[in-house]
Amino acid sequence: MKKDSGFGHNKQVNETKEEQARRSHIPFRLNFLFFIIFTLFVALIAQLGSLQIINKKDIDQKIEASSTTEVSVSTPRGMIYDAKGRALVSNKANAAITFTRTNSMTGDDLYKLANNLVKLIQVDPDKLSERDKKDYWLGSKENLKKAQERLSKAEKEETDISKQYLATVDKVTAEEIKFTDIELEAATLFKRMNSAYALTTVFVKNADVTDKELALVAEHATDLPGISTGTDWQREYPYKGSLTDILGRVSSEKEGIQADDLEEYLAKGYARNDRVGTSLLEKQYEEVLQGTKTKYEITLDQNNEVVSKTEKSQGEKGQNLVLSIDSAFQEKVEQILKTNFEDMIKSGKAKYSPGVYAVALNPNNGDVLAMTGYQHTPETKELELRPLGTILDAYTPGSVVKGGTLTSGYEAGVITGNDVLIDLPIYIQGSAVKKSVFTTESPREISAQKALELSSNVYMMQIVFRMLGISYERGMTMPYAAEQADIFGKLRKGFNEYGMGVKTEIDIPNEEVGLSWTNFGENGPNAGNLLDLSFGQYDTYTTMQLAQYAATVANGGKRIAPHVVKGIYDNKEDGALGSEKEAIGPKVLNEVNITTDQMNIIRQGFYDAVHGNDGYTTARSLAGAKMEVSAKTGTAETNAPGNPKIATVNSNIVAYGPSDNPEIAISVMLPNLTDEKDHKNLVIAQQILDAYYDMYMK
């Protein structure tokens, strides 16, 4: 019998010790695990305590923010008044029915809502497109399903939802959108509501809402989710005169913001359907006239349905504009223009004329006192008010510009003061003789001052010769036009400093600057055009530019931007015009770059043009005006519009008064008259100046 070596016994003993060691580690691991769990549990309790006790306020705010949102509703725009406080543009408050769209509303919800609402209110159907009608028809869940069943296999498998919907729209038949009158009303309501973005408010009816409709909507409020009653405003124009044309217009909620302005307005916090100024003063002063929106807090439930709507902050009506124009004076100027122009139509002198225009400015601060005109249709002899023609329509000015020519001569150093030059006919090879009305073959010495009084073309051409660095000789040839380009620029620089040929920077958008030819190619300026430019027979200017020129001479050389808005005003509690918040102007654009003595020579020349005693003094009749007047007349040789064979003239004038302490500067433009000797420009100018005197100075 083989003896047990004891190895098996030892092994058993060793295994027992290993098991004991493992067993001794188990409680430690369990205890360690329990410790970790306990620690995590304590941390969780601490975190919960922190959230519920220490940070409870912040958490509540976050919870509230996740279930509420803020929406804004527009308030009435500011009003526009004339200089005497007469309302030109106001607002009419009216009852309205509104719709606020929730995040969860589907097309089917809108379809049902439109059909429920149309039973309670009446709307005039919009001009619905075929697509509008199809969208309404597809708003019904049942109709949408019908149309989708007509899709081809490929169309049903289309992953782009918008493309699949377009394909679905095409499946709607013409018969299915032959709507009754009541269906057209419902489709209109559907379109208006469907245009609303989530949690924005739109008007579904904001005109002619009856008390009965308001009561019915309020009574059925629980069946009309998102529908509410409120107040809206509409722009009203109690003033019916020509100033309406410079006020501009405001878009409807349906039009919203124009595409060209959308990005800019959205960046400023506007909504796409906000009503904004789209033209003229309404657009120029949009941010002033636009009110502060009323803000509402909308609370949503877990299904994104509106639970409550609470006013958070009350909006404010927009600020008001007060114009520098007294509508009574504006109307007086209009009557003066109309009466005189009608006389000219009857006599045949205005047979080809496109109209008559006049502007009056305060030369000391840029206030526009009047800007108006009439557009004439020669074929029908009809007159139509066109005040914007004063900044949009440009004509050849004639000799009124000669103060600018002297200025260019001073700046170029070719004349220095009241220089005396010789007035003789100018004979240029290949060109007709150029001279002044009073010019003869006998030499006549005239000064700069006298050149303005008598309106010497020759004096102005002599300035050009000096600027070119040449001496005039009878029968001479002029340098090539291309070589004169810098002289054109130097001559125009003097004109520009008075506002001729550049923007006046009036606070009405899109003003024109006229034509200043700069292309020196084959069809560009020729040798004689530089001489023509010197006495106003080449470039074209607007009536507003000439008025700014007159105002600059009147005030001694400061070119001030004209403005039709005199000030921005707040509102009284009752909505009436409040106190001034901001005065507009004067804005000095530049000063004419000549000495005081040189400017005084120009001013004295304007004075002598009225008060001189020469037989050729150009504006002598204005000496009979009720105030002391200074002026410069201008006649430009032209052709009838569209008919170069018929010779006509532009008869213009710039003037200001009183001469020593000017309060008013004016320009009058009478284009394309058939009578060169007609002096209606002087008659109109005096009547405007006398009207101002009677209304404000007498």
Amino acid letter at 642? G
- C-alpha 527/C-alpha 431 separation (Å) is 9
Q: Is 279 a catalytic residue?
A: no
Nearest CA-CA partner of 123 in 306, 276, 271, 254: 254
Q: Is the previous residue joined to 586 through a cis bond, with omega within 30 degrees of 0?
A: yes
Helical H segments across 456-595, by residue range: 457-468, 485-496, 529-534, 543-554
Q: Which is catalytic among the residues 74, 324, 353, 399?
A: 399
Stated as kind and residue range, the H or E segment containing 40 is helix 7-49
- C-alpha 214/C-alpha 230 separation (Å) is 9
DSSP string, 186-212: HHHHHHHHHTSPTT-EEEEE-SS--HH
Token pair recorded at residue 564: 């039709």
Helical H segments across 199-260, by residue range: 211-219, 244-247
* Buried-exposed string 628-658: b where 16+ CB fall within 10 A, e elsewhere: bbbbbbbbbebebeeeeeeebbbbbbbbbbb
Contact between 360 and 665 under an 8 Å Cβ cutoff? The reply is: yes
- C-alpha 559/C-alpha 541 separation (Å) is 16
> Which residues are registered as beta bridge partners of 377?
382
Long-range pairs of 178-182 with CB within 8 A, sequence gap ≥ 24: 179/133, 181/125, 182/118
- C-alpha 128/C-alpha 112 separation (Å) is 19
- C-alpha 171/C-alpha 84 separation (Å) is 62
Amino acid letter at 493? K
Contact between 634 and 652 under an 8 Å Cβ cutoff? The reply is: yes
Stated as kind and residue range, the H or E segment containing 42 is helix 7-49
Q: What angle do CA 469, 475, 477 make, to 5 degrees?
A: 50
Query: How do 382-385 and 368-377 pair as beta strands?
Result: antiparallel
- C-alpha 392/C-alpha 371 separation (Å) is 12
Contact between 654 and 632 under an 8 Å Cβ cutoff? The reply is: yes
By CB neighbour count within 10 A (0-12 exposed, 13-18 middle, 19+ buried), where does 374 fall?
A: buried
Listed in sequence order, the residues at least 6 apart from 114 whose beta carbon sits closer than 8 Å to its beta carbon are 136, 139, 186, 187, 189, 190, 193
SS (H, E, C) 567-583: EEEEECCCCCEEEEEEE
Contact between 465 and 471 under an 8 Å Cβ cutoff? The reply is: yes
Q: Which residues are catalytic?
A: 399
